[in-house]
Copies of this chain bind each other. A is one copy, B any other.
Amino acid sequence: MSQYNNVSVVKQANVYFEGKVTSRAVIFEDGTKVTLGIMLPGEYEFGTSQKEIMDIQSGELSVLLPGKSDWLEITEPQAFEVPANASFKLKVRTVTDYICSYLD
C-alpha cells in the first residue's frame, strides 16, 4: 500500500467544477506540497501558477498541454508536466485519481 509518511494533511477539500474535481493537500516536512485529487468524467481547463507535475494514478483521459496541437492520450498510469503560468485542457473519460506536485 503506497503511502506518504510523516506528512500533514489539510482537512478541508479543494473543490472545483461543482465537485467534479476535488483534491486534498498533503504537506511534507520540508514544506513542499502535493495534492491528491479525483476528477470525474468531463472537460476541464486549469491554469497553473507554479510548474506542476500531474501524476495520473488511474483513469483514462486526454490532455492538451500549452502550446501543443495534439492531445496526449492517457490510458495507464503516466505523468506529465505543465509549465508555470500556463493553462491546459483535460477531457476525462473515466474516474481519474491523480497526484499533483508543485515545483518552483
Contact = CB atoms under 8 A, between A and B. Distances in A.
Interface of A: 1-13, 15, 18-20, 22, 24, 26-27, 36, 38, 40, 57-58, 95, 97, 99
Nearest to A13: B97
Q: How many copies of this chain are found per oligomer?
A: 2
A8 B8 contact: no
Given A15-B38, A22-B22, A24-B24, A7 B9 contact: yes
A40 B11 contact: no
B12 A9 contact: no
A47 B103 CA distance: 41
9 contacts: A2-B10, A2-B11, A3-B27, A4-B8, A11-B99, A13-B36, A15-B38, A18-B95, A24-B24
Given A19-B38, A38-B38, A3 B13 contact: no
Contacts of A24: 9, 24, 36
A8 B7 contact: yes
B6 A10 contact: no
